[in-house]
A and B are shown apart, each in its own frame.
Chain A
Amino acid sequence: MISTLADRILGLAARPNVSLQISETDKWLVEALAKQTSVLGEMLKSIEIPEPSSATLPTPPSKWQAVKLEAHKTKTQKRKVIIKRRK
């Protein structure tokens, strides 16, 4: 069940805005929003959630730094080979 978490996230992103109707429970909101006309715009700005670069990486940073370093080394080595070939 929980293995479908990724599907749920993708599903949320793909889902079009549904047809929305104010229910009886939310009628109070119509008048409140009419008095606070700028609030929806402010709300959208307020929710600009920063995407954490490593939120899905539970491994301690040191291990990931090592992986990054390894990748960097490989790139540098490739560059050296290309430079040598050019020479």
Chain B
Amino acid sequence: MSLSPSLALSVTDLVLRLADDKFVMGLSLENWLTKAPNSEIHQVFRRLTRRYYQHAGAYYQLLDDISNEKFRERTKAKSFRSSQFAAIPLSGYADALIKQYLFDQADLIRLENLQYAQYAGLQHLALSFLPQAKVGLEHAQLMISKLAPATEDAKKTLQQALSNWYPTSFGLFEPTTQTNSLTKAGIQDLEDQLLKRFRATVPEFIHTVDLHLPNAKHFFDFFGGRSGHQRAELTELLKG
């Protein structure tokens, strides 16, 4: 299916967001890898990082087919369309685990939607990435469910990480000026609808591990990434 110029613009907006999210998430994890607390955790997060880079690479390749812009040559943080969430640095394993859980849960919700996209290139990628996103999510859920009840300290630390990261993760569903066009063209549902699904799915798991979700009233504070308003940390990550 060839895209009309206006639809190509909308699809480019979406694919660039997806590519940049995965790329910056990979940078964020890679930056933390040397601080992993043991070799098993190091090994697992190295695999996850590689997966994020591979997905980003495939999305950038798709962008080459639909746009003449040289997205791979960007160096400035403001030219990135990743969510602010992706660039926030990790201070420890609890951060890494909770961030990866929220990112993969959001990714899974999006991919489940994109597998029906009325654009074969994107639909094809969504179908190939789905099994990997499920495995990533299951890994995070397994670790949270085992560690949270292990000790009081573990529960407290994971709860703190969840309280910090949960409101910021809503930025993964920040709408853009192209959101409505994408929905009209049958590419994906509105970002708002995807966010609602995310907000319904996360509590289902979090309640089973006896953690609680914080009030996320101020989630708008973490919007802006989709229009290039990036955190200073992204500039640091891109230098690395």
Whether A49 touches B47, Cβ cut-off 8 Å, given contacts A2-B23, A57-B58, A60-B120, is yes
Chain A residues with CB under 8 A of B75: 1
- The chain B residue sitting closest to A19, CB to CB, is B34
Judge whether A44 and B57 touch: CB under 8 Å.
no
How far apart are B202's CB and chain A's nearest CB, in angstroms? 19
Q: Which DSSP category, helix, strand, loop or mixed, fits chain B's interface? A: helix
User: Is A83 interfacial (CB-CB < 8 Å)?
Assistant: no
Say which residue of B42, B61, B156 sits within 8 Å of A56 (CB atoms).
B61
Tell me, in angstroms, the Cα distance from A55 to B51 when the chains sit together. Answer: 10
A43 interface residue, CB < 8 Å from B? yes
Measured in the bound complex, the distance between the Cα atoms of B129 and A15 in whole Å is 25
CA gap between A12 and B135 in the complex, in Å: 20
If A29-B37, A31-B154, A49-B132 touch, does A17 touch B43 (CB 8 Å cutoff)? yes
How far apart sit A54 and B55, CA to CA, in the bound complex (Å)? 11
Is A5's CB under 8 angstroms from B154's CB? Answer: no
Given contacts A9-B54, A32-B151, are A23 and B125 in contact (CB under 8 A)?
no
B147 interface residue (CB < 8 Å to A): yes
Q: Map CB proximity to A onto B1-38 as digits: 1 under 8 Å, 0 otherwise.
A: 10000000000000000000001001000100111111
Q: Interface extent on A, as a size class? A: 35 or more
The reply to whether B23 and A15 form a contact with Cβ atoms under 8 Å apart is no
Interface stretch, picked from B136-144, B165-173, B212-220, B225-233, is B136-144
Instruction: State how many angstroms separate the Cβ of A44 from the closest Cβ of chain B.
Output: 6
Q: A42 touching B142 by the CB < 8 A rule?
A: yes
Residues of B near A35 (CB, < 8 A) are 150-151
